[in-house]
């Protein structure tokens, strides 16, 4: 890393210009598509959570029975 502060400023400006150029290349999905994807993710998380809760409950009952 260089010790010259002027170099830091130049490098920072170049970096920010590159970030801005890359940001302009982003294509965002339409709102309907983003909402549908979010709903899909929430639904999958809810299903997986429910399955894990049931498995946890069953295993805890098995362990309680086995340890008594």
- How confident is the model over 21-27, as a mean pLDDT? 95
Rounded-to-integer distance, Cα 32 and Cα 40, Å? 12
Burial 12-35 (b: 16+ CB within 10 A, else e): eeeeeeeeeeeeeeeeeeeeeeee
Give residue 1's pLDDT: 56
Rounded-to-integer distance, Cα 14 and Cα 19, Å? 9
Give residue 2's pLDDT: 64
pLDDT bin (cut points 50, 70, 90) of residue 21 is very high
What is the pLDDT of the chain when averaged over all its residues?
93
30 pLDDT higher than 60:
yes
């Amino acid at each position: 890393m260089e010790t010259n502060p002027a170099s830091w400023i130049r490098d920072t400006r170049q970096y920010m210009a590159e970030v801005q150029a890359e940001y302009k290349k982003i294509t965002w999905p339409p709102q309907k598509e983003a909402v549908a994807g979010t709903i899909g993710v929430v639904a999958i998380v809810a299903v997986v959570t429910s399955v894990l809760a049931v498995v946890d409950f069953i295993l805890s009952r098995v362990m309680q029975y086995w340890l008594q």
